[in-house]
Copies of this chain bind each other. A is one copy, B any other.
Amino acid sequence: MDLHFTPEQEQFRRELRAWLDANLERSWTEETRDPNHDADSLVELRRVWQRKLNAARYIGMGWSEEWGGRGASEVEEAILQEELTRADAPQVPNFLGISLLGPALIHHGTEEQRRRFIPKMLNCEEIWCQGFSEPSSGSDLASLRTRAEPDGDDFRITGQKVWTTFGPWADWIFVLARTDMDDRYGGISFFLVPIDQDGVEMRPIRQITGESEFGEVFFDGALAKREHLVGELGEGWRIAMTVLGYERGAATLAKPAEYDVQLDGLVAGLRASGKLDRPDVREQLGRLVIENEVMRSNGLRTLAQLASGHAPGPESSIEKIFWSEYAQRLSDSALDLLGPEAQLATRAQKTGSDVDWAYQYLWSRAGTIYSGSSEIQRNIIAKRVLRMPTA
């Protein structure tokens, strides 16, 4: 057992920190509180930030040099995400493109597809969004009904996708669509579709936070060219599932780092209000602190497993459940402990604790739903890890 980072990894972290010090001018929290910003200018800021990161070769780090990467390991990727979180850097607009589509193209795409799409994805000339979920297939993704019908050499896509993060600003969407209505898994194919065309309508979805970071997309005979089919016909499900697995590890250190920042804010608020010495408050705070540290321990373990060549299995469901439910406990407790000031509206006013608690409280509701709800994750653990039978 060895939880030390290697000297090279430590060196990577030091360089990254220095780079962030030099290049990140304002934290994301400050940006979002700046009344001169609107949703569009914030996206533009993120685009510029991604270009900076890309120029410094921090985007797609795990890919080979040929595709702009450095062949970095999962550990370095995790360090990158941890440091970006600690520094409160903006999230890059193409994070779904980078984490899902990039690997899909590298492993399953054609040479032409890689050349055409990867560079513009990396430097954010084109923003990508993901077209997997549909209004009536969320948890049960394979029940999707959007269909792609042949039209000459090409395809025409009809149906509806939803929860497309960054959809309202995206140029392209990668879509799972049905090319065979009868084959549940084998009838799904993977297409790249430009959004700026007749037959594609993108509507923003307003979230409970008041923002509209998601969209829903209506396809009405939208054109998907044959050359923009990824893999073979009917390989879409397999590609999607493989690629979802590549997300592994990246968030293992970033999540506890994110909650450390929030915990520091909570402590500051409690200190300011003179409550930090109350035993009831300390007990609740202590629990939040140790839970986050246990989460970090799980993360280090996953990372160590990856580093020694073990693929993490469905145990990653444990991490998903843990961080998403913890985030709810944390913001919920903060609202309780800090008193009415913590309820002040999202991103409107500062509290003594310098965290937008009301916003976090609302936003934390999404984590247990997206990317496989807590219910689905528990099903996975019961069935695939504990091998409990299906009813």
Contacts and interface: CB of A to CB of B under 8 A. Distances in A.
Interface in A273-325: 278-283
A282 B280 CA distance: 8
Contacts of A283: 280
* Residue from A279, A281, A391 having most chain B Cβ neighbours under 10 A: A279
Interface string A251-287: 0000000000000000000000000001111110000
Interface string A17-51: 00000000000000000000000000000000000
A6 B346 CA distance: 54
A contact patch SS: helix
Contacts of A278: 279-280
Nearest to A283: B280
A282 B283 CA distance: 12
Interface string A227-269: 0000000000000000000000000000000000000000000
A303 to B, nearest CB: 35
A29 to B, nearest CB: 32
Interface string A167-203: 0000000000000000000000000000000000000
A281 B278 CA distance: 11
A283 B280 CA distance: 7
A33 to B, nearest CB: 34
Contacts of A279: 278-281
Contacts of A282: 280
A278 B280 CA distance: 8
A191 to B, nearest CB: 35
A389 to B, nearest CB: 14
* Residue from A280, A281, A282 having most chain B Cβ neighbours under 10 A: A280
A144 B281 CA distance: 52
A75 to B, nearest CB: 40
Interface in A195-219: none
A128 to B, nearest CB: 38
A378 to B, nearest CB: 16
Contacts of A280: 278-280, 282-283
Nearest to A391: B391
A283 B279 CA distance: 10
A283 B282 CA distance: 12
Nearest to A281: B279
Contacts of A281: 279
Contacts of A391: 391
9 contacts: A278-B279, A278-B280, A279-B279, A279-B280, A279-B281, A280-B280, A280-B282, A280-B283, A391-B391
Interface of A: 278-283, 391
Given A279-B280, A280-B282, 7 more contacts: A278-B279, A278-B280, A279-B279, A279-B281, A280-B280, A280-B283, A391-B391
Instruction: Kindly list the 8 A-B residue pairs having the minimum CB-CB distance in the complex, ordered from nearest.
Output: A279-B280, A280-B280, A280-B283, A279-B279, A278-B279, A391-B391, A280-B282, A279-B281
